Amino acid sequence: MAKENKNSLETELKFLLERRAHLEFRFSQYVANYHHSMAWIAAIFFGISTILVSFRLYSYLWVIGTIFLLITFYRLIMLKKVLSLSQEHLDKINSSLDKRYGTLNLDIGLSLFIIISIINIKQ
């Protein structure tokens, strides 16, 4: 029974560790995609601004600049939202890991106590 409980606990720990690694990997991918998309957005708006300057349409530059800033702030807000959600999930996984490791340490500690007690009784 104790061996079966320990095996299920170890599988659960392994699953939680894999889940945490997967979540960290996905978040790093999201940040990389964010940087890539912001580079594209900046390039597109720079190109539009260059076209407007070449046609001497200076009065529309503030519109392009405002739209660029709005899109940039929207992307930053979405990044912050994803960061808080992933941090919330990581906190849940870490608390589960702490709880499981605590249970595993308690089982090991109890086993050691029983073994030491048996050795003391035999002496």
Give the structural domain span for 84: 2-117
The pTM is what? 0.68
- The pLDDT value given to residue 28: 87
Question: Whole-angstrom Cα distance, residue 107 to residue 115?
Answer: 12
Tokens representing residue 25 in the block: 């990997």
How many domains are contained in the chain? 1
Q: What's phi and psi for 55, nearest 5 deg?
A: -90, 5
Q: What is the pLDDT of residues 22-41, one digit of tens each?
A: 888 998 899 899 999 999 99
Kindly state whether residue 49 falls inside one of the protein's structural domains: yes
Q: Is residue 97 domain-resident? A: yes
Residue 122 lies in a domain: no
